[in-house]
Amino acid sequence: MRHKNEYIMVREGKAQILVPNPELYKRADGVYEPAWAPVFYNPVMRLNRHLSVAGLYAWSSIRGRRPLVIVDALAGTGVRGIRYALETRNVRTCIINDISKEAFRIARANIRINKINTCVATNREANALLRDLKEARRVVDFVDIDPYGTPAPFIDSAITTVRRGGLVGLTATDLAPLSGIKPSSGERHYMATLAKNSVGREAALRVLLGLVARVAAIRDRWIKPVMSISSRHFVRVVIEVLGGARKASSMLENCVGYVTLCDDILWSEHCEKPKLFGPIWLCDTHEHEILDQAINFLQGTDYEDSDKEEAIKVLEKAKEEIGLNKVFNLTSIAKVAGVNTPRRDSVVQCIRRKGFGATSPHYPGPYIRTDADYRDVLECVMSLGSQ
Ligand SMILES: C[S@@+](CC[C@H](N)C(=O)[O-])C[C@H]1O[C@@H](n2cnc3c(N)ncnc32)[C@H](O)[C@@H]1O
């Protein structure tokens, strides 16, 4: 029997969305558990959705503003697809899909509530829907994959269905497998050799991108990541998918490979028997122009929530990461060196004095991002940590 107040209306971005009443799905500790609700809506993922809307807006305005055909393939309430349609102001057709009958019903109601005639709700298995769109030769500009846990089972369909030069957004929330904390499920889903390490958030992004790149290469396609964010309990990557067998081979050669792992330190060979970790993505994970435009977009919004400021902060920081594709955990290095962990700012200065780039990543923690080798970082940690 339906509860009278089973759904409530919330505002997110420019959308009004019917979502499950969080009061009805609380754990014993009083925290809302979205997985218990009849349709999945997690307010904690608003940050992910702000970033995703800003990313799509930025990409479509930079790459020519043609009216977009987009697929929100695992839509839940439809909040993402509806926000894309309302906020990017550039969507010609938006397919909002979910395998659940109840999600389909609510997504359809939400489309009606927001009065958007460009969106349609469908009730299909995501891979089947994407394959059908491909078979029907529909030109699809953007595919969004936002599943429970791993996006791995949907990557091939998304990459194959999107047009050449189109965009794919993927969320993963299975951070333990993806980052190497649970290597066996990580190895199954991401077809990579993984292990515990001290830079799990970075590893998670690069393991996911490594799989996406290899799957794209199977189809003679190659990828260009335009925004890659690791925050809270998710990673979100947004990639452009391009065509060309030769470029796919050169992407594999230059941007996908193994890195060494010593103790828990990635990119270190400073031990007797370094292990191999990967294949992971080795190249840049963002495009500067896209991040700039996404920030401009967010600054111009009237979102009345704290996630807007966080999204802007994360993207500002991400801009500094371009060209600096190794991440080290200063606490781990200090432990190996037998010194106290030095202040991050002083390590950044030290690395820069050696002629390399260095900054902190867009996620919190005792990390340093650099193009220097482990040995150079170690030297700085040793000299500063023992002072
Ligand atoms: C994490 S929720 C989506 C949340 C939504 N994108 C948002 O931003 O609020 C994942 C959704 O995928 C749906 N789902 C799971 N497996 C699916 C499949 N194979 N095909 C289509 N939908 C699927 C579930 O019913 C669920 O609504």
**Residues comprising the chain, all counted:** 387
pLDDT of residue 245: 98
**Alpha-helix runs per DSSP H in 241-343:** 245-255, 288-299, 306-319, 330-337
pLDDT of residue 75: 98
pLDDT of residue 387: 64
| Residue of minimum CA distance from atom 6 in ligand 1 | 75
Which of 53, 95, 99 has most ligand 1 atoms within 8 Å of its beta carbon, as the pocket-test mutant? 99
Is 40 close to ligand 1, i.e. is its CB under 6 Å away?
Answer: yes
Query: Could you tell me the sign of the dihedral formed by the alpha carbons of 84, 86, 91, 96, in that order?
Result: positive
Q: What is the mean pLDDT of the chain?
A: 96
What 3-state class would DSSP assign to 285? coil
Beta strands 358-359 and 367-370 are antiparallel
Confidence of residue 2 (pLDDT cuts 50, 70, 90): low
pLDDT at residue 194 greater than cutoff 70: yes
- Give the domains, in start order, of the chain with CATH numbers: 42-291 (3.40.50.150), 325-387 (3.30.56.70)
How confident is the model over 207-227, as pLDDT tens digits?
999 999 999 999 999 999 999
Tell me, letter by letter, the H, E, C secondary structure of 60-95. HHHCCCCCEEEEECCCCCCHHHHHHHHHCCCEEEEE
CA distance 173 to 229: 12
pLDDT of residue 115: 97
Over residues 29-40, mean pLDDT: 94
pLDDT at residue 251 greater than cutoff 80: yes
How many angstroms does the Cα of residue 222 sit away from the middle of ligand 1?
Answer: 26
pLDDT at residue 1 greater than cutoff 70: no
pLDDT at residue 310 greater than cutoff 60: yes
Is 148 close to ligand 1, i.e. is its CB under 6 Å away?
Answer: yes
Is 99 close to ligand 1, i.e. is its CB under 6 Å away?
Answer: yes
Over residues 72-91, mean pLDDT: 96
CB atoms within 10 A of CB 249: 13
How far is the CA of 56 from the CAs of 63, 207, 290, in angstroms? Answer: 10, 23, 9
pLDDT of residue 320: 98
SS3 content of the chain, % helix, strand, coil (to 5): 45, 25, 30
Confidence of residue 246 (pLDDT cuts 50, 70, 90): very high
pLDDT of residue 322: 98
pLDDT of residue 65: 72
Q: What tokens does 360 get?
A: 């902190």
Is 32 close to ligand 1, i.e. is its CB under 6 Å away?
Answer: no
The atom of ligand 1 lying closest to the CA of 98 is 22
Confidence of residue 362 (pLDDT cuts 50, 70, 90): very high
Do residues 130 and 162 make contact, with C-beta atoms less than 8 angstroms apart? no
How many angstroms does the Cα of residue 73 sit away from the middle of ligand 1?
Answer: 7
What DSSP state is assigned to residue 274? P
| Residue of minimum CA distance from atom 25 in ligand 1 | 100
pLDDT of residue 66: 86
Over residues 239-244, mean pLDDT: 98
How many angstroms does the Cα of residue 47 sit away from the middle of ligand 1?
Answer: 18
Is 79 close to ligand 1, i.e. is its CB under 6 Å away?
Answer: yes
